[in-house]
Amino acid sequence: MNRLCQHNQAHPCFWFLLILFLLIAGRGRAEPAVLSFEVQVRVEADKIVFRVTNLGPAAVLGENLVVEQWDEIGRVWRFAASPLWQCGTKETVFAKPLAAAEQIEIGWNKSLHKGCLKAGPGRYRVSIKDPQGSLQSLPVEFELTVVVEKVRNPESRETIYRIVNGECSLSWVLRDAESDQGVALYRPTCSLPFRDQTLLMSELLKAVVQSGMLPQAEWTLYWGRLTPSNGKCFELSQRLMLAAHQSKDWDVKRGKPKQGHENSFVRLVMEQTGIYSELKEIFQAQGLLLRVSNVEKVLILKAKDLPCYANLKSRGVGPEEKLPFDCQVWLRVQAKHRP
């Protein structure tokens, strides 16, 4: 390694070691929900202007960010944090959500006019510094938020609240029909991990609650199926299968609960094992309690015939075990303190 450093001089070796250190240090950390956007930088006589635009409709910053009283340009533009992410433009960029005392340091070259950032929703503090360390730090604050789109469909008499981030689309549908009053329908098209989905869903929840279209005291969220499309391994479905495999109340040979109906078993096991705990957390943050109110149409198959079997096998599930993997779920939402 020393010879490599000497041969290539200190600068490139420094970046190699920095990247290696960040990769090692970042292992084991859960990455934030992904909100990708593009940053364009314009240099003017007395200021640097940041313009942020969407790579996906979810990430929006709005107004330009202006750093005043800049009197010299540095050489390198970087986000010096973790995790490592490779931009589409092949520049290496680092980013992470910031605690109150943290900051992203950026030095940059005026010939580099755009880059990428991967981060979760939240507030970020940015300092602009000369790479040589001779200039003052100029702090800038900006808010990264997600946009919830509201669409009214007069023909179907539906109001749709939708959030889109890249290829992930999450929607809640509210219908005008009297029979559907107090019910929100969940419609996902998303391959993000469930925890990342719930971070986006928290913005949907805020928008729907603030709309006043649902009763304050109590309403229903129709989740739908745990496996919305065939041939894919869905996280909640896998959690249900593992919970049944581990339960003393499920007969893996017969593919039935030892007592009672499979609908009742699945409803109870979802409550007792925290299958949807991340979802509960975002409702609790809004002062709402969430529980499974009803389960129907439970589907059961041998583990070897399911798309999640490779994951199940590593957790001790046998190929012939008959496990519940899908069902329709209704969730009851109640205010902690009813008006």
Contact 35, 120 (CB under 8 A): yes
- Residue 61: the pLDDT is 29
User: 3-state class of 232 per DSSP?
Assistant: coil
The tokens for 176 are 């005008």
- Residue 176: the pLDDT is 87
The tens-digit pLDDT sequence of the chain (339 residues) is 334 334 444 455 555 544 545 444 444 433 333 333 334 444 443 333 444 433 333 322 222 222 222 223 322 222 322 222 223 333 333 333 333 333 333 333 333 333 333 334 444 444 444 344 433 333 333 334 456 888 888 888 999 999 876 667 899 999 988 888 899 999 998 877 787 788 778 888 988 988 888 888 899 999 999 987 766 888 999 999 999 999 999 999 999 999 999 999 999 999 999 899 989 999 998 999 999 999 999 999 999 999 889 989 999 999 999 999 999 999 999 998 765
Break the chain into its structural domains and give their ranges: 31-145, 149-335
The 3-class secondary structure across 54-87, one letter per residue, is: ECCCCEECCCCEEEECCCCCCCCCCCCCCCEEEC
**How far is Cα 74 from Cα 132, in angstroms, rounded to an integer?**
8
DSSP bridge partners of 126: 104, 140
Q: Tell me whether the omega of the peptide bond preceding residue 57 falls within 30 degrees of 0, making it cis.
A: no
For residues 34-50, one letter each, b for 16 or more C-beta atoms within 10 angstroms of the residue's C-beta and e for the rest, the string is: bbbbbbebeeeeeebeb
Number of Cβ within 10 Å of residue 298's Cβ equals 20
- Residue 166: the pLDDT is 61
What 267-274 contacts at long range (C-beta under 8 Å, 24+ apart), as own/partner pairs, is: 267/292, 267/294, 267/295, 269/240, 269/243, 269/244, 270/240, 270/243, 270/295, 270/329, 273/239, 273/243
**How far is Cα 38 from Cα 101, in angstroms, rounded to an integer?**
25
**How far is Cα 107 from Cα 105, in angstroms, rounded to an integer?**
7
Question: Which burial class, exposed, middle or buried, applies to 324 when counting CB atoms under 10 A from its CB (0-12, 13-18, 19+)?
Answer: buried
CA distances from 272 to 14, 267, 335 (A): 51, 9, 21
DSSP string, 238-266: HHHHHHHHH-TTEETTTTEESSS-HHHHH
**How far is Cα 125 from Cα 154, in angstroms, rounded to an integer?**
43
Question: Nearest-CA neighbor of 67 among 13, 144, 140?
Answer: 140
Number of Cβ within 10 Å of residue 167's Cβ equals 10
**How far is Cα 15 from Cα 317, in angstroms, rounded to an integer?**
45
CA distances from 113 to 68, 103, 231 (A): 18, 21, 43
Angle at which helix 235-246 crosses helix 262-272, to 10 degrees, equals 100
**How far is Cα 239 from Cα 338, in angstroms, rounded to an integer?**
32
DSSP string, 97-109: ---TT--EEE---
Q: What is the DSSP letter of 37?
A: E
Residue identified by tokens 């023909």 is 155
CA distances from 29 to 82, 117, 124, 135 (A): 10, 18, 19, 34
- Residue 103: the pLDDT is 36
